[in-house]
Chains A and B, each alone.
Chain A
C-alpha cells in the first residue's frame, strides 16, 4: 500500500473503495441484465404477433382443404391450392398466373420510371441553375399537398377519352412520375458536393451520364427506399387498378384477388395460394435490400 501524503484516514478510504465499487458495479450490471431480459421477453412475442398473420397466410395456403381456416397448424401440408392457381383456376379458368405477371409488369415499369424521372428532375431542380426553377419546386410542393382524390374521376375520364380503358397503359401511365421521389432526390442531391459533377462536366460528360453514372450510385440508400416504397405501393394498389381495368386477363393479382374475394368464400384455399404469391415478392425484396433500407430510413428520418 503506497504511502499517501494526506494521512492514514484517506489511505483506509482508498483501500475500501475497490470493494464497494465492485459491489455497486455488479448490482448495476445485474439490474441492466434483468432489464434487457425483460425487454426481449416483451419484444419477441410482440414481433411474433405482428408477423403472425403472414405465418397464418403461408400455412393456410399449404393446408388441406378440409382444414383451411379451422386450425392454426394443419395435420399435413399439400400443394393443392397452388396447383389450382398455377393451372389457371381449375374448371373456373381464372387467370391467376397471368395476373401475377401483370402485377410484375406494372409495378416494375412504374418503379423504374419513378426512380429514373425522380432522379432526373431532382437533379435539374437541385444541381442545375435555371430561371423558374424555384417556381417549379414550389409548384411540386403545392401539388404534393393537393388532395388527389379530387383528381380521381377526371383522370379516369382522361384515360377513357384517350381510349386507354382496360389497357396496361391505363395502369402504368398515371403513375410514371411520383412527386415524393422528386422531392426526396432534390433534397438529397442538394447535399452532394458539386466537385465531382464539375469534374465530370470537364471530362465532357452529358447531364444524363452524370445523373445515371454519378448521382444515382451515390444515392444508393435513398434510391432503395424510393424503389421499395413505390414498388410496394404499386403492387398493393387496389382502387386505381380496379377502376381502369375490367378484363380479368389484364388485371393485376391484387385486383383479381379482390374481385374474386367472395366467390371462393367456401373454398378459400386457392385464394390463400394467390395471396401468398402476392405477398412473397414484396417480402423478399425488402429482406434482400434490408440493409440499404435501414440506412435509407435513417437518412430520411434525420
Chain B
C-alpha cells in the first residue's frame, strides 16, 4: 500500500523548513520594524538626541520629569478626555441609529450601508479643507448665520468651538464605520425575543432598551474600545486646521509627539511623550473595558 501524506497532520517536522521559510517575510519585518524600535524606544526615553550630534546624551529621568510637568502634555492629556466626552455619545447614538435604519429597510440595504460608510474613506486633510471652506467668514453658511441668526461664532478661534468642530468631523467620519459593526450585531438578535416581548405587551421603546441595547453588548464593546483608542491618536484634523490651538485648546498627544520629535528635533523627549501616550491609552481602555463589562454582566453577558 502506498503511503500517502494525506491526513498526516501530526507530522510537524515535514513542514518545518517550509513553514519557517514562508513566515520569514513577517519575521524579517518584525525584527527590523518592531523588535529593534521596541528596544530602542526604551533607551530613547532616558536620552537626549537632536539627530545631528553623533551620540545621544544620557539624561536619566529628566525627560520623564519634564513631560509630567509640561503644560503642553497636560493639555494633550486633558483634551483626550474632552474629545472623548463629546465624541463617544455622539458617535454611538449616530451609528446605532444608522444601523437601525439599514436593518429595517426592506430593500437597498447594501446601498445605504455602503453610503453611510463613505465618509470613512475621506482623507482627514480633505475633510479639513471642506470644513475650513464652509466655516470661513465669507462662506454661504457663515454669512447666513450672521445675517439671519445674528450669531458670529469664531469656529476655529474659540477653544470650545474648535474642539466641537473637530469632534463633529470625526463623528461624521466614523459613524458609518461603527454602524457596520452594529448592523452585524443587530442581525444576531433573534426575532423571537421581539415577538415574545410584543406578546407580553412591550412597546417599541421598551423593546429597544430592554432587548436591542443589551443584545448589542459585543458591538458596543468593540466600538467603545475602538473609539477610546481613537481619542488618543487624533492628529490630522487639529494639525491641519488649528495646529493644536488656540492656545493648546485642541492639543493632542500625537501633535505634541510630532512637535517635539520632528519640529524641535528632540528624539528622546518625543519618545517619552509617546510612552506616556501609550500608558494613558492603555489605562483608559482598561477602565472603559471594566465599565462596559460590568454593564454587560448585569444583563447576563460574561
Contacts and interface: CB of A to CB of B under 8 A. Distances in A.
Given A51-B115, A149-B257, A271-B129, A130 B12 contact: yes
A154 B44 CA distance: 8
Interface in A101-153: 117, 120-121, 123-125, 128-133, 136, 139-140, 143, 146-147, 149-153
Which of A139, A149, A155 has the most CB atoms of chain B within a 10 A radius of its CB? Answer: A149
Nearest to A208: B22
Contacts of A150: 37-38, 41, 271, 274-275, 278
Contacts of B257: 149, 152-153
Nearest to A206: B18
A236 B274 contact: no
Interface string A188-212: 0000000000100110000100000
A153 B112 contact: no
Contacts of A120: 22, 25
A257 interface: yes
A50 B115 contact: yes
Nearest to B282: A147
B64 interface: no
A56 interface: yes
A225 to B, nearest CB: 11
A144 B51 CA distance: 29
Contact of B119 (A50, A121, A132, A151): A50
Which of B26, B37, B112 has the most CB atoms of chain A within a 10 A radius of its CB? Answer: B26
Given A54-B118, A128-B18, A243 B258 contact: yes
Contacts, number: 250
A72 to B, nearest CB: 6
Residues of A contacting B: mostly: helix
B161 to A, nearest CB: 18
Interface stretch (B84-92, B176-184, B191-199, B290-298): B176-184
Nearest to B26: A121
Interface string B275-302: 1011001100000000000000000000
B113 to A, nearest CB: 7
A193 B128 CA distance: 48
Interface of B: 4-7, 9-16, 18-20, 22-23, 25-27, 29-30, 32-34, 36-38, 40-41, 44, 51, 98, 101-102, 104-106, 110, 112-116, 118-119, 121-130, 132-134, 136, 138-140, 143, 172, 175-176, 180-181, 183-184, 233, 235-236, 239-240, 253-254, 257-258, 261-262, 267, 270-271, 274-275, 277-278, 281-282
21 contacts: A47-B112, A47-B115, A50-B118, A50-B119, A69-B139, A70-B139, A70-B140, A71-B140, A124-B18, A124-B22, A136-B26, A149-B277, A157-B267, A174-B33, A254-B125, A257-B126, A257-B129, A272-B133, A278-B126, A279-B126, A282-B121
